[in-house]
Amino acid sequence: MVERLLRAPSQYWMLIMMWVRSSMAYPVSFVLMLFSSMLVTVMDFVAVVLMFSHISSFGGFSLPEMALLYATASITLGIADLFTGSIERIGERIRTGTFDAYLIRPVPAFLQTAADGFALRRLGRPTQALVVLGFAFSRLHLDWTVARGIVLVGSILAGSVIFAAIFVLGASFQFLAVDSAELANSFTYGGQTLTQYPLVVFGREIVRAVTFVVPLAFVNYYPVLFLLGKPAPLGLPSWIGLLSPLVAVVMVALAGLAWRGGLRRYRSTGS
């Protein structure tokens, strides 16, 4: 088991480099797809800017604060989508029976599924989000200490892991319901849309759900509240955003159990 874990990073790297070399065979096409990806995702923030041309705050957030919220949501999903987003296609492989090939190769099925069709163009989402993050930094009047920097970077990494775990949980559910990829997307891509806005505007029940059921609030909302010195909703302590790494560990454990459970249940095509 330990030996397999030690080999996993190099195996995953070899798999994704195969797909990267494939995409780089047509560099002009790759650049065009990358910029188109950036253009499509940046329109979400353009909508936020247009909204603030008529209002001064939204859910207690100013435009620079909204930019920080939007950027962290997009970066975390973008990183998770880049490295694990392909796993959502497992339902198609189960239906066609091609998933069987992953089980007889000397590489863990999870790594093969996560790296399948690795698309470097997905860098478009986090890249444009970094530009928005730079805009937020230039407008926010915060005392950026080393501690705040560690919290920000740690929350982005933890948020990426949480989204990745949700991708894996959604893929694991497809062992039970093959055509359920869109259900998983509602928690990943839909979750990113949700977390780029202040959650309090959606009502207390939604806040409870994304705190205690599907912990999307720990992706970026609670850490951003902590960085900005804003109170947490539901009477929760202001330091709750510091728990994002712990939530990420719990989500990884759940995703691992779900994935192994799905593999044990798998009985080839139609299962």
Residue 1 has what pLDDT?
52
Cα first-last separation, the chain: 27
In Å, how far from its chain's centre is CA 27? 26
Which amino acid type is present at position 264?
R
With 0-12 / 13-18 / 19 or more C-beta atoms within 10 angstroms meaning exposed / middle / buried, residue 253 is: exposed
Residues 172 and 236: their CA atoms lie apart, in Å, by 32
Residues 161 and 256: their CA atoms lie apart, in Å, by 12
Q: Comparing C-alpha atoms, which of 127, 158, 126 is closest to residue 226?
A: 158
Tokens 């478009």 belong to 124
Q: Comparing C-alpha atoms, which of 169, 175, 166, 167 is closest to residue 95?
A: 175
Contact (CB, 8 A) for 88 and 77: no
Q: What is the pTM of this model?
A: 0.89
Residue 185 has what pLDDT?
78
Q: State the Rg of the chain over Cα.
A: 19
Residue 180 has what pLDDT?
66
Low-confidence ranges of the chain (pLDDT < 70): 1-9, 178-181, 269-271
Contact (CB, 8 A) for 117 and 26: no
Residue 8 makes CB contacts below 8 A (sequence gap 6+) with: 108, 111
Angle at 16 between CA 101 and CA 151, to 5 degrees: 125
Q: What is the DSSP string of 181-213?
A: HHHHHHHHHHHHHHHTS-GGGG-HHHHHHHHHT
In Å, how far from its chain's centre is CA 219? 8
Residue 2 has what pLDDT?
47
